[in-house]
Amino acid sequence: MIAHLRGTVAGLAPDGAVIEVGGVGMRVQCAPGTLATLKLGESAQVATSLVVREDSLTLYGFTSDDERNVFELLQTASGVGPRLALAMLAVHTPDALRRAVSTEDLNALIMVPGIGKKGAQRIVLEMRDRLGPPGSGDDGSPGLKPSQRVPSWRDQVQSGLVNLGWPVREADQAIAALEADGTVNGANGEEINVATVLRAALRKLSKQ
Protein backbone atom coordinates (compact mmCIF):
# COMPACT_ATOMS: atom_id res chain seq x y z
CA MET A 1 0.00 0.00 0.00
CA ILE A 2 1.17 3.54 -0.77
CA ALA A 3 0.65 5.31 2.58
CA HIS A 4 1.80 8.79 1.56
CA LEU A 5 3.50 10.83 -1.15
CA ARG A 6 6.09 13.54 -0.65
CA GLY A 7 7.18 15.60 -3.62
CA THR A 8 6.61 18.70 -5.72
CA VAL A 9 3.13 19.72 -6.85
CA ALA A 10 3.46 19.55 -10.64
CA GLY A 11 -0.17 20.06 -11.58
CA LEU A 12 -3.55 21.02 -10.15
CA ALA A 13 -7.06 20.30 -11.42
CA PRO A 14 -10.55 20.70 -9.92
CA ASP A 15 -10.60 17.07 -8.79
CA GLY A 16 -6.96 16.25 -8.11
CA ALA A 17 -3.27 16.99 -8.35
CA VAL A 18 -0.07 15.63 -9.84
CA ILE A 19 2.77 15.21 -7.35
CA GLU A 20 6.20 14.54 -8.80
CA VAL A 21 8.13 11.97 -6.78
CA GLY A 22 11.59 10.97 -7.98
CA GLY A 23 10.88 12.18 -11.51
CA VAL A 24 7.55 10.35 -11.72
CA GLY A 25 4.27 12.31 -11.74
CA MET A 26 1.70 10.62 -9.49
CA ARG A 27 -1.93 11.53 -10.18
CA VAL A 28 -3.87 11.87 -6.91
CA GLN A 29 -7.61 12.49 -6.64
CA CYS A 30 -8.47 14.86 -3.79
CA ALA A 31 -11.39 16.66 -2.20
CA PRO A 32 -11.40 20.47 -2.57
CA GLY A 33 -10.26 20.89 1.03
CA THR A 34 -7.08 18.96 0.32
CA LEU A 35 -6.49 20.78 -2.94
CA ALA A 36 -6.71 24.07 -1.06
CA THR A 37 -3.53 23.14 0.82
CA LEU A 38 -1.50 22.49 -2.34
CA LYS A 39 0.39 25.11 -4.31
CA LEU A 40 1.84 24.59 -7.76
CA GLY A 41 5.62 24.20 -7.70
CA GLU A 42 5.83 23.80 -3.93
CA SER A 43 6.73 20.73 -1.88
CA ALA A 44 3.86 18.82 -0.30
CA GLN A 45 3.05 15.57 1.45
CA VAL A 46 -0.33 13.86 1.35
CA ALA A 47 -1.62 10.73 3.06
CA THR A 48 -2.87 8.36 0.37
CA SER A 49 -5.15 5.41 -0.23
CA LEU A 50 -4.84 3.18 -3.30
CA VAL A 51 -8.14 1.83 -4.66
CA VAL A 52 -7.66 -1.18 -6.91
CA ARG A 53 -10.25 -2.14 -9.52
CA GLU A 54 -10.09 -4.62 -12.37
CA ASP A 55 -9.55 -1.87 -14.92
CA SER A 56 -7.91 0.86 -12.85
CA LEU A 57 -5.59 1.87 -10.03
CA THR A 58 -6.68 5.14 -8.41
CA LEU A 59 -4.73 7.02 -5.76
CA TYR A 60 -6.65 9.30 -3.38
CA GLY A 61 -4.92 11.99 -1.35
CA PHE A 62 -5.76 13.53 2.04
CA THR A 63 -4.47 16.17 4.43
CA SER A 64 -4.11 13.74 7.34
CA ASP A 65 -3.87 10.05 8.20
CA ASP A 66 -7.17 10.33 10.07
CA GLU A 67 -8.96 11.61 6.97
CA ARG A 68 -7.46 8.76 4.93
CA ASN A 69 -8.47 6.19 7.57
CA VAL A 70 -12.06 7.49 7.67
CA PHE A 71 -12.18 7.39 3.85
CA GLU A 72 -11.25 3.71 3.95
CA LEU A 73 -13.66 2.90 6.79
CA LEU A 74 -16.58 4.56 5.01
CA GLN A 75 -16.14 2.20 2.07
CA THR A 76 -16.91 -0.77 4.32
CA ALA A 77 -20.54 0.44 4.46
CA SER A 78 -22.96 -1.01 1.92
CA GLY A 79 -23.31 1.17 -1.17
CA VAL A 80 -20.40 3.48 -0.32
CA GLY A 81 -17.61 3.52 -2.90
CA PRO A 82 -14.54 5.75 -3.09
CA ARG A 83 -16.33 8.61 -4.89
CA LEU A 84 -19.12 8.81 -2.33
CA ALA A 85 -16.64 8.47 0.54
CA LEU A 86 -14.62 11.36 -0.93
CA ALA A 87 -17.81 13.43 -1.31
CA MET A 88 -18.61 12.81 2.37
CA LEU A 89 -15.19 14.14 3.36
CA ALA A 90 -15.67 17.12 1.06
CA VAL A 91 -18.79 18.08 3.00
CA HIS A 92 -17.80 17.03 6.55
CA THR A 93 -14.61 16.72 8.56
CA PRO A 94 -13.82 13.27 9.98
CA ASP A 95 -15.05 14.31 13.44
CA ALA A 96 -18.22 15.84 11.97
CA LEU A 97 -18.94 12.48 10.33
CA ARG A 98 -18.29 10.68 13.61
CA ARG A 99 -20.67 13.06 15.35
CA ALA A 100 -23.35 12.64 12.68
CA VAL A 101 -23.15 8.85 12.89
CA SER A 102 -22.97 8.64 16.70
CA THR A 103 -25.94 11.02 17.17
CA GLU A 104 -27.89 9.59 14.21
CA ASP A 105 -27.98 13.01 12.55
CA LEU A 106 -29.49 11.95 9.23
CA ASN A 107 -29.88 15.55 8.04
CA ALA A 108 -26.11 16.04 8.18
CA LEU A 109 -25.50 12.93 6.10
CA ILE A 110 -28.22 13.83 3.57
CA MET A 111 -26.30 17.05 2.87
CA VAL A 112 -23.84 14.91 0.90
CA PRO A 113 -24.88 14.61 -2.78
CA GLY A 114 -25.75 10.99 -3.49
CA ILE A 115 -26.99 10.12 0.01
CA GLY A 116 -30.74 9.87 0.63
CA LYS A 117 -32.60 9.12 3.85
CA LYS A 118 -32.39 5.34 3.47
CA GLY A 119 -28.70 5.54 2.62
CA ALA A 120 -28.07 7.75 5.64
CA GLN A 121 -29.90 5.29 7.90
CA ARG A 122 -27.84 2.42 6.53
CA ILE A 123 -24.58 4.32 7.07
CA VAL A 124 -25.53 5.11 10.67
CA LEU A 125 -26.44 1.47 11.33
CA GLU A 126 -23.29 0.03 9.79
CA MET A 127 -20.73 2.66 10.83
CA ARG A 128 -21.79 3.40 14.43
CA ASP A 129 -19.28 0.97 15.91
CA ARG A 130 -16.59 1.46 13.28
CA LEU A 131 -15.92 5.21 13.14
CA GLY A 132 -15.84 5.71 16.90
CA PRO A 133 -16.86 8.84 18.84
CA PRO A 134 -15.79 12.40 17.89
CA GLY A 135 -12.19 13.08 18.88
CA SER A 136 -11.16 9.44 18.62
CA GLY A 137 -9.13 9.93 15.45
CA ASP A 138 -5.58 11.13 15.00
CA ASP A 139 -5.82 14.51 13.28
CA GLY A 140 -2.09 14.77 12.80
CA SER A 141 -1.21 16.02 9.35
CA PRO A 142 1.55 14.31 7.38
CA GLY A 143 3.06 17.65 6.49
CA LEU A 144 0.51 19.90 4.85
CA LYS A 145 -0.27 23.37 6.11
CA PRO A 146 -4.04 23.81 6.58
CA SER A 147 -5.88 26.95 5.56
CA GLN A 148 -3.23 28.26 3.19
CA ARG A 149 -4.27 31.39 1.30
CA VAL A 150 -5.48 30.40 -2.17
CA PRO A 151 -5.96 33.31 -4.60
CA SER A 152 -8.50 31.36 -6.67
CA TRP A 153 -10.65 30.23 -3.76
CA ARG A 154 -13.88 31.12 -5.62
CA ASP A 155 -12.87 28.92 -8.55
CA GLN A 156 -11.96 26.06 -6.23
CA VAL A 157 -15.21 26.27 -4.31
CA GLN A 158 -17.20 26.47 -7.55
CA SER A 159 -15.30 23.47 -8.98
CA GLY A 160 -15.87 21.53 -5.78
CA LEU A 161 -19.62 22.17 -5.88
CA VAL A 162 -19.84 21.29 -9.58
CA ASN A 163 -17.89 18.07 -8.99
CA LEU A 164 -20.40 17.20 -6.26
CA GLY A 165 -23.29 17.59 -8.70
CA TRP A 166 -24.47 21.20 -8.39
CA PRO A 167 -25.03 23.36 -11.52
CA VAL A 168 -22.54 26.19 -12.06
CA ARG A 169 -25.27 28.83 -11.75
CA GLU A 170 -26.40 27.53 -8.33
CA ALA A 171 -22.79 27.20 -7.17
CA ASP A 172 -22.10 30.84 -8.08
CA GLN A 173 -25.28 31.96 -6.32
CA ALA A 174 -24.30 30.12 -3.14
CA ILE A 175 -20.82 31.69 -3.15
CA ALA A 176 -22.32 35.16 -3.71
CA ALA A 177 -24.79 34.59 -0.86
CA LEU A 178 -21.96 33.63 1.52
CA GLU A 179 -20.11 36.80 0.62
CA ALA A 180 -23.26 38.90 1.01
CA ASP A 181 -24.08 37.60 4.49
CA GLY A 182 -20.50 37.97 5.71
CA THR A 183 -19.73 34.26 6.02
CA VAL A 184 -16.77 34.77 3.66
CA ASN A 185 -14.67 37.88 4.22
CA GLY A 186 -11.11 38.12 2.99
CA ALA A 187 -11.13 41.87 2.50
CA ASN A 188 -8.83 42.53 5.45
CA GLY A 189 -6.27 39.94 4.47
CA GLU A 190 -7.79 37.04 6.41
CA GLU A 191 -6.94 33.59 5.10
CA ILE A 192 -9.87 31.89 3.41
CA ASN A 193 -10.21 28.17 4.07
CA VAL A 194 -11.66 26.64 0.91
CA ALA A 195 -12.90 23.53 2.73
CA THR A 196 -14.82 25.65 5.27
CA VAL A 197 -16.38 27.79 2.53
CA LEU A 198 -17.29 24.67 0.54
CA ARG A 199 -19.10 23.17 3.54
CA ALA A 200 -20.93 26.45 4.18
CA ALA A 201 -22.00 26.60 0.52
CA LEU A 202 -23.29 23.03 0.67
CA ARG A 203 -25.30 23.81 3.79
CA LYS A 204 -26.84 26.81 2.03
CA LEU A 205 -27.63 24.80 -1.12
CA SER A 206 -29.19 21.96 0.88
CA LYS A 207 -31.72 24.39 2.38
CA GLN A 208 -33.00 25.58 -1.01
> What gap in Å lies between CA 21 and CA 19, rounded to an integer?
6
Show Cβ contacts of residue 153 under 8 Å, excluding neighbours closer than 6 positions: 36, 186, 192, 194, 197
| Local confidence pLDDT in tens for the 208 residues of the chain | 688 999 999 998 878 899 999 999 999 999 878 888 888 899 999 999 999 888 888 999 999 999 999 999 999 999 999 999 999 998 888 999 999 999 999 999 998 888 999 999 999 999 988 888 877 666 544 444 433 333 457 777 877 777 677 788 888 888 888 888 877 765 444 567 777 888 888 888 877 6
- pTM of the entire predicted model: 0.69
Contact 48, 61 (CB under 8 A): yes
Query: Strand 16-21 vs strand 43-53: parallel, antiparallel, or unpaired?
Result: unpaired
pLDDT at 185: 67
pLDDT at 208: 63
**Full set of structural domains in the chain with CATH:** 4-62 (2.40.50.140), 65-131 (1.10.150.20), 153-206 (1.10.8)
Longest dimension (CA), the chain: 50
DSSP annotation of 160 reads H
Q: Return the H-helix or E-strand segment holding 10.
A: strand 4-13
